[in-house]
A and B are shown apart, each in its own frame.
Chain A
Amino acid sequence: MSQASKRTRVQRLADSVLPGRAVGGYANLIEARLRKLAATASTGMLPLSGHGDGAIFFRGGQVVYAESTRTPTPARRSVGLAALGLVATDAGPASNGAELVAVPSLDRLFGMLARTEPTIDAVTELLSSESRYAKFRPSDYPAAGQMSPLSIETVLAEVERRHQVLRQLAPVVTADSPVVRFAPRDPPSFQVSASQWTLLVRTGDGSTPRTLAMELGRSVFGTTIEVYRLLALGMLVVPGHAQAITSGQARATTGRGHVVHARPIRRRRRPCLETRPWPIRSARS
């Protein structure tokens, strides 16, 4: 008699009959569908639904654009990036990089990144285990000039990498974990980047990495990582996880066995967060 459970046997059977299909999850099925669209050099739109709705757009078998209701749109991103001084507001139409090679420019590099990151971010969100795809619509595709074509294998490899990173971060923080600012009694000195400073200033009641990303027009994935870094610095806390994160950091850095107890910003605001310029350098009181 076989030692494998019934579920395992069903899974093996499904895997052998339908390559790319896995029991209890549609992510592999969607990947197989995307690869087939790429192999047939399709042009059009593949609608997806799940936690959030969205679509992936193809042109000649390459992914040219994607959007999800759970990630910021490119228009919103460009406003946010421009506000941060990371990309020019008049970045112009998409280029193939020739101008960038001729005259290396950070603005142009950020411009290309700003056109690509929303697509990767949206596909990362759309290819979750809860997503399902609908019928492919060959007639629907976005206007030319706004997109950077990407091969499906490049996109899937990057999305898989991001899913792995998010799985590693999940015990501490997810894109939907509420975070609050930490107000210690004896604040140590910290130095944060402009990007982290912006997040700290915007963090309020009920903020999550996703809401912050939507508000600032930034990548949900990138914002989640940045929030994780602020958690590691002890400047933000996840309610319920505060002791575990901050006590370890405090012991490691002060070497005094001193534990800084986390306290949500709602009880006592730390006024310096809104007033001090970057970088933060607060002396020990």
Chain B
Amino acid sequence: MILPAADELLAPVMAIDGFRLACLIDGSTGMVLATREFRENRDGPALPTAAAGAADVINALTLLNGRLATGENLEDVMVTFSDSFFMVRPVGLDQQILLLVIADRQRTNLAMAHRSIRDFCASFTS
């Protein structure tokens, strides 16, 4: 990771039930800035793959939004796999920094996780 000291930033997200992995991504380059991983996540998704996938998803949706031209901003993306949730949310309005959280589907309350992620992103002052 590029900013190891920033890892502590992600501590609040680790409180989500079923938490597996979280990282901050530079949306313009896809670079992982900071990451936290659950200690038993050895068999889980690889961080670079997950981060690159999250950046690609945001990129595709940004292009879609650009084509639709509805004047709206992308708020978050939730992807449901058979075993896990992938949640991506821009930190701030300009979508340069993205937060990716991966959580266990069996143990996660999706509404509570969504709320925690929203509150975490809102905790950043400009």
Residues of A that sit less than 8 Å from B by CB: 86, 95-98, 100-101, 103-107, 109-110, 112-113, 116-117, 120, 148, 150, 154, 157-158, 161-162, 165, 188-195, 219, 221-222, 225-226, 229, 232-233, 253, 279-281
Q: Are B3 and A148 in contact (CB under 8 A)?
A: yes
A158 (CB) vs chain B CBs: closest residue: B31
Contact with A along B1-38 (1 / 0, CB 8 A): 11111101100000000000000101011110100000
Point out the residues of chain B lying under 8 angstroms from A219, CB to CB.
Answer: 28-29
Per the 8 Å Cβ criterion, residues 26-60 of B in contact with A are 26, 28-31, 33, 48, 52, 59
Chain B binding surface SS class: mixed
Point out the residues of chain A lying under 8 angstroms from B59, CB to CB.
Answer: 229
Point out the residues of chain A lying under 8 angstroms from B2, CB to CB.
Answer: 113, 116, 120, 148, 150, 154, 158
Complex Cα distance A216/B26, Å? 18
Q: Are A229 and B71 in contact (CB under 8 A)?
A: no
27 example contacts (A-B, Cβ-Cβ < 8 A) are as follows: A95-B5, A97-B9, A98-B5, A100-B6, A101-B9, A104-B123, A106-B91, A106-B124, A107-B125, A109-B97, A112-B33, A117-B29, A148-B2, A150-B2, A157-B48, A165-B30, A190-B66, A190-B67, A190-B69, A191-B67, A191-B68, A193-B95, A229-B59, A229-B62, A279-B71, A280-B69, A281-B69
Residues of B that sit less than 8 Å from A by CB: 1-6, 8-9, 24, 26, 28-31, 33, 48, 52, 59, 62-63, 65-71, 91-92, 94-97, 123-126
Q: Are B96 and A86 in contact (CB under 8 A)?
A: yes
Point out the residues of chain B lying under 8 angstroms from A148, CB to CB.
Answer: 2-3
A104 (CB) vs chain B CBs: closest residue: B124
Point out the residues of chain B lying under 8 angstroms from A232, CB to CB.
Answer: 63
User: In the complex, which of the residues B5, B63, B125 contacts A105, with contact meaning CB atoms closer than 8 Å?
Assistant: B125
Point out the residues of chain A lying under 8 angstroms from B52, CB to CB.
Answer: 161
User: In the complex, which of the residues B5, B30, B125, B126 contacts A96, with contact meaning CB atoms closer than 8 Å?
Assistant: B5
User: In the complex, which of the residues A113, A191, A192, A195 contacts B70, with contact meaning CB atoms closer than 8 Å?
Assistant: A191
User: In the complex, which of the residues B1, B3, B67, B70 contacts A253, with contact meaning CB atoms closer than 8 Å?
Assistant: B67
Given the known inter-chain contacts A148-B3, A191-B71, please indicate yes or no for A233 contacting B66, CB distance below 8 A: yes
Given the known inter-chain contacts A104-B125, A106-B92, please indicate yes or no for A191 contacting B69, CB distance below 8 A: yes
Complex Cα distance A98/B48, Å? 25
Complex Cα distance A112/B9, Å? 13
Output the least CB separation between B71 and chain A (Å).
6
Add 19 more A-B contacts to A148-B2, A225-B28 (CB < 8 A): A97-B8, A103-B125, A104-B124, A107-B125, A109-B91, A109-B124, A112-B33, A113-B33, A113-B97, A117-B26, A157-B48, A158-B2, A162-B29, A189-B68, A194-B94, A225-B30, A229-B59, A232-B63, A233-B66
Point out the residues of chain B lying under 8 angstroms from A279, CB to CB.
Answer: 69, 71
Output the least CB separation between B57 and chain A (Å).
14
A235 (CB) vs chain B CBs: closest residue: B66
Point out the residues of chain A lying under 8 angstroms from B95, CB to CB.
Answer: 193
Point out the residues of chain B lying under 8 angstroms from A86, CB to CB.
Answer: 94, 96
Given the known inter-chain contacts A104-B125, A280-B69, please indicate yes or no for A120 contacting B31, CB distance below 8 A: yes
Point out the residues of chain B lying under 8 angstroms from A281, CB to CB.
Answer: 69, 71
Complex Cα distance A86/B3, Å? 18
Output the least CB separation between B122 and chain A (Å).
10
Complex Cα distance A113/B29, Å? 11
Q: Are A101 and B65 in contact (CB under 8 A)?
A: no
Output the least CB separation between B43 and chain A (Å).
21
Q: Are A101 and B8 in contact (CB under 8 A)?
A: yes
Complex Cα distance A158/B2, Å? 9
